Structure 1
Amino acid sequence: MKIIAFYLPQFHQIPENDIWWGNGFTEWVNVKKAKPLYEGHYQPRKPLNNNYYNLLDDRVKEWQIKLAKENGVYGFCFYHYWFGGRMLLQQPVEQFLKNSNLDLPFCICWANENWTQAWVSKDNRILIEQKYGGKPEWKEHFKYLLPYFKDNRYITNNGKPLFVIYRPELIESLNEMLDYWQELARENGFLGIDFAYQHLNFDREKNTDDSRFVYNIEYQPPYAYYDLTKNKFKYLKKIRRHVLSFLEQKFNINIKGVRPGGVLRFSYDDMWNQIIKRIPEDEKRIPGAFVDWDNTPRKGEKGSVYEGATPEKFHKYLTKQIRRTRDVYKKDMLFMFAWNEWAEGGYLEPDEKFGFEYLKAIKQALIENNEFPEWKEKNENG
Structure 2
Amino acid sequence: MIVKKRIRCLLLCCLAWAAGSGSTTAQRYDVAAFYWPAYHYEPRSGFLFPDKKGEWEIIYKARPKEEGHMQPKVPLWGYENEADPRVMDRKIKTAVAHGVNTFIFDWYWYEGQPFLESCINNGFLKANRGRMKFYLMWANHDATSYWDARNPRKDSVIWKGGVSRAEFDKITDRLISRYFKNPSYYKINGEPVFCIYELQTLINGLGGPVATKAALDDFRRKTKAAGFPGLHLQGILWSALPASISGVPGDKIQTQDKVLTYFGFKTITNYCWAHLQRPSGDYEKWADASTAMWSGFDHDFSIPYLPNVTIGWDPNPRYPFKAGYITNPAPEKFAKYLEKAKAYLDAHPGQPQIVTINAWNEWSEGSYLEPDTVHKLGYLEVLKRIFPAHPATTIK
Q: Does TM, scored on the shorter chain, surpass 0.5?
A: yes
Change (3 A) 1:67 1:194: same
* Paired residues of 1:265 and 1:306 also in contact (CA < 8 A): yes
- CA shift, 1:284, in A, is 2.7
Distance 1:7 1:362 in 2: 17
Asked if 1 retains the 8 angstrom alpha-carbon contact of 2:53 and 2:81, the reply is no
Q: 1:186 to 1:198 in 2, by over 3 A?
A: same
1:214 counterpart = 2:241: no
| Aligned positions of 1:234-249 closer than 5 A | none
The amino acid across from 1:36 in the alignment is P
Amino acid at match of 1:66: K
Identity %: 28
Q: CA deviation at 1:19?
A: 2.4
1:257 aligns with none
Number of residue pairs aligned between Structure 1 and Structure 2: 331
Q: Does the 8 A contact of 1:298 with 1:343 survive in 2?
A: yes
**Equivalents in 1 of 2:364, 2:168: separation in Å?**
32
Q: Residue 215 of structure 1: CA displacement?
A: 1.2
Structure-2 separation of matches of 1:26 and 1:316: 33
**Would you say the 8 A contact 2:139–2:196 is kept in 1?**
yes
Contact preservation (8 Å) 2:234, 2:268: yes
Contact kept, 8 Å, 1:224 with 1:272, in 2: the verdict is: no
Separation of aligned partners in 1, 2:111 and 2:228: 24
Q: 1:139 aligns with which of 166, 169, 183?
A: 169
Superposed CA deviations along residues 27-61 of structure 1, whole A, max 9, x for unmatched, are: 11111121112222111110115x11001211111
Aligned to 2:46: 18
Task: For residues 99-132 of structure 1, give each alpha carbon's deviation from its aligned partner in whole angstroms, at most 9, with x where no partner exists.
Answer: 5526210000111012121343333332222341
Point out where structure 1 has 5 or more consecutive residues left out of the alignment.
230-263, 375-382
SS at match of 2:91: helix
Higher relative contact order (CA 8 A, sep 6+): 2
Alpha-carbon distance in 2 for matches of 1:157, 1:102: 17
Q: Paired residue for 1:151, among 157, 168, 182?
A: 182
Tell me: CA distance 1:84–1:194, structure 2 relative to 1, closer, same or farther (3 Å): farther
Partner residue of 1:373? 390
Match of 2:152 in 1: 122
Instruction: Tell me what 2:195 maps to.
Output: 164
> Displacement of 1:331 after TM fit?
3.9
Shift of 1:176: 1.9
Structure 1 contact 295–303 (Cα < 8 Å) conserved: yes
Q: CA deviation at 1:21?
A: 4.2
RMSD over aligned CA atoms reads 2.0
What is the CA distance between 1:74 and its match in structure 2?
1.6
Q: Is the 8 A contact 1:296 1:303 kept in 2?
A: yes
Cα separation, 1, equivalents of 2:268 and 2:118: 28
Amino acid at match of 2:356: F
The equivalent position to 1:70 in structure 2, one of 97, 120, 124, is 97
Cα distance in 2 for residues equivalent to 1:273 and 1:15: 41
Contact 1:84 1:133 in 2 (8 A): no
Which letter maps to 1:138?
A: F
Structure 1 residue identity aligned to 2:175: L
1:273 to 2:288 alignment:
yes
Tell me if structure 1 keeps the 8 A contact 2:191–2:230: yes
2:19 corresponds to: none
Matched-pair contact (CA < 8 Å) for 2:102–2:133: yes
Letter in 1 for 2:260: D
TM-score, normalized by length of structure 2?
0.78
Provide the C-alpha distance between the structure 2 equivalents of 1:86 and 1:35, rounded to a whole number of angstroms.
34
Asked if 1:342 corresponds to 2:363, the answer is yes
**Contact 1:169 / 1:201 at 8 angstroms: preserved in 2?**
no
State yes or no: 1:327 paired with 2:347.
yes
Say which one has the larger Rg: 1
d(CA) in 1 for partners of 2:159, 2:64: 32
The residue type paired with residue 168 of structure 2 is W
1:325 to partner: Cα distance: 2.3
* Cα distance between partner residues in 2 of 1:63 and 1:55: 10
- How far apart in 2 are the matches of 1:20 and 1:52? 17
Which of the numbers 137, 141, 147 marks the counterpart of 1:109?
Answer: 137
Q: Deviations over 1:177-224 (max 9, x none)?
A: 211100111111111110111140244633352122111113331344
Match status 1:56 vs 2:83: yes
